[in-house]
């Protein structure tokens, strides 16, 4: 019953509207000039200050050395590929475990109390422990038990530790999403004769995931850089490779190389999150300038 | 003697200290259209929700085609599958197309193959003039179209009883007619309907029986002519007078 938006009959704008448009155009031009000028001034100030610090020459040599950059890039890149593999594996595992935990916490009835209590205790525990301690406990503790006869690579323990910690956070995000779906949706689904499980799977969870996608992507960005922590277990990832290269060249530039690679990895996800959030916002508030 | 579709005996329900239903007795025969009228808070919605087992009753019994559905041993999902419900706020699933909304119960409760469910869903949507909207999501539809889609979703599995909970209360006046016309059509096709409504003109037109609820009790019931023409109870007269004003 609503007319197609954006299709208006062509009509010559009134004098008042023309004057308003001209004013907005002048204002717009002025703000672009001001922002350009202020950006340039700040950038120039930072640049000049940095160049005039007493130690700049030495810092530039040890952190931003072009030759070392090029020479260390292949090794650091090779390590970075390990980070990417761990990231891919861990993010899939995190989504699965987190969804399982969130679903367990929504179960009603006294039979499920032990499972519910376990899920609640799990999220409390792993949101509380620093990731680095989880890495040590898993990476050195579990092999120390002597349960597993073969030597398991450090990156596997790293993936497990990351999954343990991040699942706790992400399950809370999922739970918030599930609780944000209006109860009337659940009632409509149950009224059709759908079971609790099917109602969750077909009606509640799909809507919950849409609601929390920006928050999930934010956690994904955090995970992207925390995969660098597996280096403390001895896995030769980008960070460990940079450390080795640093020792080889007596120069810190390889760390900058590794840092740059992580930033380059994060930027597309961050942009994607912004784009998605903007799209959701545009869909939910039709029009409006505030 | 045919079994009544719905029979309630002494149904009572309280929320904390507040008594919402106070010993409701009601029989609904196959093909009968029963309109529940009464002020807000008189218990109309709660009564519908107890029949559909969305609320647990404190006392009394409810039979659906002879089965005591208030018995905790019956499978509530199976009971709900036999009853169609339409809510005031449509409650369509926003992440699914109109057709997916309509076929959800066929596919996942009746386990009908998707192709067959889609064909049946399209047939029903065509009947109510919504075939062109089948692939759209509900937010692209007007309120009246959404409520008609919700009605189709409720009848898609061929339920033996249809519960309508003030289904035109959220609609603009000009959209009310298209929804009520569809209900009229369903009633003419022989559907058994219990509806809570504030549309007195419609209740008079379509209902076989009008039930006046007040303070969780059935104060009086009868044919539309009796209730609207010559109400016995002063409370009923008082209530109806407000609609004529």
Q: What is the pLDDT of residues B31-69, one digit of tens each?
A: 999 999 999 889 999 999 999 999 999 999 999 999 999
Residues of chain A whose beta carbon is less than 8 angstroms from a beta carbon of chain B are: 1-2, 184-185, 187-195, 198, 202-203, 206-207, 210
Measure CB to CB from residue A207 to each of B77, B95, B108 and give the nearest one: B95
- Give phi and psi for A145, each to the nearest 5: -65, -20
With a cut of 80, say whether residue B89 has pLDDT above it: yes
Domain that holds residue A40: 23-52
Contact between chains at A195 and B157 (C-beta distance less than 8 A): no
Burial A253-269 (b: 16+ CB within 10 A, else e): bbbbbbbebbeebeeee
Q: Is A217 contained in some domain? A: yes
In total, the C-beta contacts within 8 angstroms joining chain A to chain B are 59
CATH number, residue A264: 1.10.3720.10
- Relative orientation angle of helices B98-108 and B114-127, to the nearest 10 degrees: 130
Cβ pair B39, B2 in contact under 8 A:
no
In the prediction, which pLDDT does B167 show? Answer: 93
- Give the one of B94, B105, B145 whose C-beta lies nearest to A192's C-beta: B105
Question: What contacts 24+ positions apart, CB below 8 Å, involve B199-208?
Answer: B199/B168, B200/B37, B200/B228, B200/B240, B200/B243, B202/B35, B203/B35, B203/B37, B204/B228, B206/B33, B206/B35, B206/B180, B207/B33, B207/B34, B207/B35, B208/B32, B208/B33, B208/B34
pLDDT at A109 (0 to 100): 82
Q: Which residue of B has its CA nearest to A201?
A: B108
Closest Cβ opposite residue B108 in set A1, A188, A198: A198
Residue A204: its chain B contacts at CB < 8 A?
A: none
Residue A124 lies in a domain: yes
Mean of pLDDT over chain B = 93
Shortest Cα distance, chain B CAs vs residue A241, angstroms: 46
- With 60 as the cut, is the pLDDT of residue B85 above it? yes
Cβ–Cβ below 8 Å for A187 and B91:
yes
Residues A109 and A178 in one domain: yes
Residue A53 DSSP class: S
pLDDT computed for residue A281 by the predictor: 75
Number of domains in chain A: 2
Q: Who has greater pLDDT, B169 or B243?
A: B169
Contact list in A for residue B52 (CB cut-off 8 A) is: 191
The pLDDT score that the predictor gives to residue A4 is 47
Same domain for A127 and A44: no
- What is the structure's pLDDT at A106? 86
The verdict on residue A253 lying in a domain is: yes
**Does the beta-carbon distance from B105 to A1 stay under 8 Å?**
no
Between chains, do B109 and A187 touch, taking CB under 8 Å as contact?
Answer: no
Mutation choice for B interface testing from A188, A202, A206 by most B CBs within 10 A: A188
Cα separation, A224 vs A172, in Å, equals: 19
| Interchain CB distance below 8 Å, A193 and B85 | no
Residues A38 and A155 reside in one and the same domain: no
Cβ-defined contact of B142 to A2 (cutoff 8 Å): yes
Q: Do A187 and B80 touch (CB under 8 A)?
A: no
Domain annotation covers residue A6: no
Contacts of B82 in chain A (CB under 8 A): 193
| CB contact (8 A) between residue B93 and residue A188 | yes
Q: Are residues A141 and A236 in the same domain?
A: yes
Q: Are residues A177 and A206 in the same domain?
A: yes
Q: B194 with B36: CB under 8 angstroms?
A: yes
Same domain? For A244 and A220 the reply is yes
A3 lies in some domain: no
- State pTM to two decimals: 0.82
Classify residue A13: in a domain, yes or no: no
B141 to chain A, closest Cα gap in Å: 8
Q: Is the pLDDT at B165 greater than 50, yes or no?
A: yes
Kindly determine whether residue A191 and residue B109, on different chains, have CB atoms separated by under 8 Å: no
Residue B102 with chain A: CB contacts under 8 Å: none
Across the interface, whether the CB atoms of A192 and B52 are under 8 A apart is answered no
Q: Is A39 in the same domain as A87?
A: no
Within a domain: residue A287?
Answer: no
Report whether A165 contacts A134 (CB < 8 A): yes
Digits of tens for pLDDT over chain A (290 positions)?
444 445 556 788 899 999 999 999 999 999 999 999 999 999 999 999 988 898 888 888 889 999 999 999 999 999 999 999 999 999 999 999 999 999 999 888 889 999 999 999 999 999 999 999 999 999 999 888 888 888 889 999 999 999 999 999 999 999 999 999 999 999 999 999 999 999 999 999 999 998 899 899 999 999 999 999 999 998 999 999 999 999 999 999 999 999 999 999 999 988 998 898 888 777 766 556 66
Residue-wise pLDDT for B202-245, tens only, equals 899 899 999 999 999 999 999 999 999 999 999 999 999 888 65
Structure tokens belonging to residue A257 = 């190389």
Residue B170: pLDDT band (50, 70, 90) is confident
Q: What is the CATH number of domain B6-94+159-244?
A: 3.40.50.300
Shared-domain flag, residues A162 and A38: no
Share of chain B above pLDDT 70, in %: 99
The answer to whether residues A47 and A69 belong to one domain is: no
Domain ranges of chain B: 6-94+159-244
Task: Provide the shortest C-alpha distance from residue B48 to chain A (in Å).
Answer: 11
Q: What is the SS3 assignment for chain B? A: CCCCCEEEEEEEEEECCEEEEEEEEEEECCCCEEEEECCCCCCHHHHHHHHCCCCCCCEEEEEECCEECCCCCCCHHHHHHCEEEECCCCCCCCCCCHHHHHHHHHHHCCCCCHHHHHHHHHHHHHHCCCHHHCCCCHHHCCHHHHHHHHHHHHHCCCCCEEEEECCCCCCCHHHHHHHHHHHHHHHHCCCCEEEECCCHHHHHHHCCEEEEEECCEEEEEECHHHHHHCCCCHHHHHHHHHHHC
A76 with A164, same domain: the answer is yes
Residues in B closer than 8 angstroms to A183, CB to CB, are none
Is the residue at A246 inside a domain?
yes
Residues A266 and A163 in one domain: yes
Residue A102 and residue A33 share a domain = no
């Amino acid at each position: 019953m609503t007319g197609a938006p954006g299709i208006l009959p062509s009509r010559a704008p009134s004098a008042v509207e023309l004057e308003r448009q001209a004013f907005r155009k002048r204002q717009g031009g002025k703000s672009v000039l001001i922002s350009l000028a202020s950006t340039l001034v700040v950038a120039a100030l930072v640049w000049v200050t940095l160049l005039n610090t007493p130690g700049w020459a030495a810092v530039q040599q040890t952190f931003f050395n072009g030759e070392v950059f090029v020479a260390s890039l292949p090794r650091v890149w090779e390590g970075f590929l390990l980070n990417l593999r761990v990231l891919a594996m861990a993010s899939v595992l995190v989504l699965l475990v987190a969804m399982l935990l969130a679903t367990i916490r929504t179960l009603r009835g006294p039979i499920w109390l032990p499972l519910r209590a376990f899920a609640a205790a799990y999220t409390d525990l792993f949101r509380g422990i620093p990731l680095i301690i989880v890495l040590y406990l898993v990476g050195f503790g579990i092999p120390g038990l002597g349960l597993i006869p073969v030597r398991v690579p450090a990156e596997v323990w790293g993936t497990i530790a990351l999954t343990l910690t991040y699942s706790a956070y992400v399950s809370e995000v999922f739970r918030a999403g599930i609780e944000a779906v209006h109860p009337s949706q659940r009632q409509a689904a149950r009224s059709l004769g759908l079971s609790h499980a099917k109602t969750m799977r077909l009606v509640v969870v799909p809507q919950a995931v849409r609601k929390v996608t920006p928050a999930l992507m934010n956690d994904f960005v955090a995970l992207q850089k925390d995969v660098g922590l597996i280096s403390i277990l001895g896995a030769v990832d980008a960070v460990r490779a940079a450390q080795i290269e640093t020792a080889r060249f007596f120069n810190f530039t390889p760390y900058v190389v590794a840092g740059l690679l992580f930033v380059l990895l994060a930027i597309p996800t961050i942009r994607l999150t912004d784009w998605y959030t903007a799209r959701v916002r545009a869909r939910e508030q039709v029009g409006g300038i505030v | 003697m045919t079994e009544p579709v719905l029979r309630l005996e002494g149904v009572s329900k309280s929320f904390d200290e507040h008594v919402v239903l106070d010993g409701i007795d009601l029989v609904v025969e196959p093909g009968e259209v029963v309109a529940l009228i009464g002020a807000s808070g008189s218990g109309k919605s709660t009564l519908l929700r107890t029949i559909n087992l969305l609320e647990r009753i404190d006392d009394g019994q409810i039979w659906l085609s002879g089965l005591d559905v208030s018995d905790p041993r019956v499978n509530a999902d199976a009971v709900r599958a036999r009853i169609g419900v339409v809510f005031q706020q449509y409650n369509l699933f926003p992440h699914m197309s109109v057709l997916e909304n309509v076929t959800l119960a066929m596919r996942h409760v009746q386990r009908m193959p998707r192709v067959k469910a889609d064909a049946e869903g399209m047939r029903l949507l065509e009947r109510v003039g919504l075939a062109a909207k089948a692939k759209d999501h509900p937010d692209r539809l007007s309120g009246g179209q959404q409520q008609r889609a919700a009605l189709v979703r409720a009848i898609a599995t061929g339920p033996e009883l249809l519960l309508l909970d003030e289904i035109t209360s959220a609609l603009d006046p000009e959209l009310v007619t298209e929804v009520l016309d569809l209900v009229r059509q369903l009633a003419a096709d022989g559907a058994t309907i219990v509806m809570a409504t504030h549309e007195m003109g419609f209740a008079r037109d379509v209902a076989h029986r009008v039930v006046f609820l007040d303070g969780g009790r059935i104060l009086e019931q009868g044919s539309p002519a009796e209730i609207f023409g010559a109400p016995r109870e002063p409370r009923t007269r008082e209530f109806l007078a407000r609609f004529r004003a």
